[in-house]
A = this chain, B = another copy of it.
């Protein structure tokens, strides 16, 4: 047991922090002005991406990367503290080609794609030339139980025909959006096992019948890449666009969600650190009723509680990454669920306290807190609502208890 980051990680942390400080943070003003106009600042991002790639800070998230693929082949435990640093600025991950849902798509393409699929979709993603979406959740179904999902992927000769409606497909209005990976029912046999009826297919953006219905505001906020509602109306793609086997949808989804979840969580932890720093600095610089805010014991308690909760969350996240690395994603399922629940809640909680210290300015967009608070709320749904994860954790605990009872 050892709680120190390895020398390799410490060196990467230093490099990444320096890159952020020198190149990314100074660009935040320009990025934000563009985003306020709902325009993706493509040139700015492209410039930063080129530089990050040149410096080798690229595709840090993918443990299985081969030597001829661009990137660093870090383990999850190595990536986690870097994701935390990127998370400090909400848009920074894109600079390092580490942003969702491309990361998850690269993971499953890397693992399940056929050679032609790799060439056409994975390579440009790994090179950061295109962006992609993933379309699972549906507006009219309770998607936290994915067996409810209704979009159909029907075989018709050499094609699949897709019909349905999806939403929260990130990137669908990104200027470099190239395709989305769609989850749907490919086996209409009502007798088939419930978890073996769904598949994933790749749908390129210009396929007839595919339409972005609308971008969906999340907590009253429109992002530059979009979280879009999509319509699939008799959309035909070649059978070669099937990812993995027919009926393997649930297995692929599980493989996908593990790492993605802990990336979100580490970024959350980075954002919590930002909120805590802002809270402390504000508390030191403001006075009411004859005393600095930082002299108030309630505010001091909030600061201490935030430190405690962040440190606990980080440890849990690193442990989850370590279990993934040493025992595989499936073995880490409980740890992943735990940190998923913890981190999403924590972001809202820490930010809430920070806002309170800021007073009314905490409500405005003059600080990142309003964004972090609302986005933290959204994270309680992204990758599954808290309750679904709690359910899984409890089930495992009860199963162990049942085994003890039998023994």
Contact = CB atoms under 8 A, between A and B. Distances in A.
A24 B293 CA distance: 44
6 contacts: A144-B359, A219-B363, A220-B221, A298-B387, A300-B390, A308-B393
Given A342-B308, A402-B284, A397 B276 contact: yes
A296 B299 CA distance: 10
A286 interface: yes
Interface string A159-186: 0000000011000000000000000000
Interface stretch (A94-102, A245-253, A371-379): A371-379
Interface string A334-377: 11001001100000000010011001111111000011011001
A395 B303 CA distance: 9
A230 to B, nearest CB: 14
A303 to B, nearest CB: 4
A363 B377 contact: yes
Interface stretch (A104-112, A200-208, A309-317): A309-317
Given A137-B360, A398-B280, A287 B219 contact: no
Given A4-B1, A281-B405, A401-B277, A359 B298 contact: no
Interface size range of chain A in the complex: 35 or more
A148 interface: yes
B287 A142 contact: yes
Interface of A: 1-6, 9, 77, 137, 139, 142-145, 148, 167-168, 216-221, 276-277, 280-281, 283-289, 293-294, 296-301, 303-305, 307-308, 311-313, 315-316, 318-319, 322-323, 326, 334-335, 338, 341-342, 352, 355-356, 359-365, 370-371, 373-374, 377-378, 380-381, 385-387, 389-395, 397-398, 400-402, 404-405
Contacts of A361: 139
